[in-house]
Amino acid sequence: HVDKGEFVTIIGPNGCGKSTFIKAIFGLATYHQGEVSHDGQSVTGWRTDRLVNRGISYVPQRDNVFPGLSVLENIEMGGLKLSSNELGERIESAFRMFPDLVPRTNDLAASLSGGERQMLAISRALISKPQFLLLDEPTAALSPLYQQQIIQRINNLRNEGITILLVEQNARLALKQSDRAYIFAGGEVVHTGPAQE
């Protein structure tokens, strides 16, 4: 479980089911038993668009931007159902969160560095104003500087009231900002407790 307003991290060795678990929550992986509920309502088996409309967003580890679209076009994809005024306000908010993207607005996403791509992917997820944000290894293959920036900005989102569930390989970095953690091994939760612990 993740309580409202919490920053929870899932850690564990490669291949232990962390990414599959978070994909199952967002309806992208098949599961045969169990239930997913959000804010007291079962969302088991819901399509991803229904989950987004409910306030749940997901940022995958790979293939998380449209490389042939510009930075601005990528962000706009997160708000196709919004009015132009509302979309404009949310884009401005995303650029305040990730000012490094502002000078790259018209550049193709394919030209971005790994860190910039993660910022873009998170920005697009934020356009729908999620209450609950799922992130799958957002610091993978990034420089130490970008890793610090991404985790700090994710923590800023928590400070703004967004509930965070993060899958992360860089345990030390993520746990510094997290409230609680789950340790997975062999497809199971083997320990949970306060992040400091």
The reported pLDDT for the residue numbered 24 is: 93
pLDDT per residue over 161-195, tens digit each? Answer: 999 999 998 999 999 999 999 999 998 999 999 99
Quote the mean pLDDT of the chain: 93
Half-sphere exposure of 171 (CA within 13 A, CB side): 14
The reported pLDDT for the residue numbered 197 is: 92
36: buried, middle or exposed (CB in 10 Å: 19+, 13-18, 0-12)?
A: middle
The reported pLDDT for the residue numbered 11 is: 96
What is the pTM for the complete model shown?
Answer: 0.92
Q: Which residues of the chain have pLDDT under 70?
A: none
Interatomic CA distance for residues 60 and 125, integer angstroms: 10
- Between the alpha carbon of residue 178 and those of residues 1, 33, 69, 80, 171, the distances in Å are 14, 28, 33, 32, 10
Q: 85: helix, coil or strand?
A: helix
Q: 89: helix, coil or strand?
A: helix
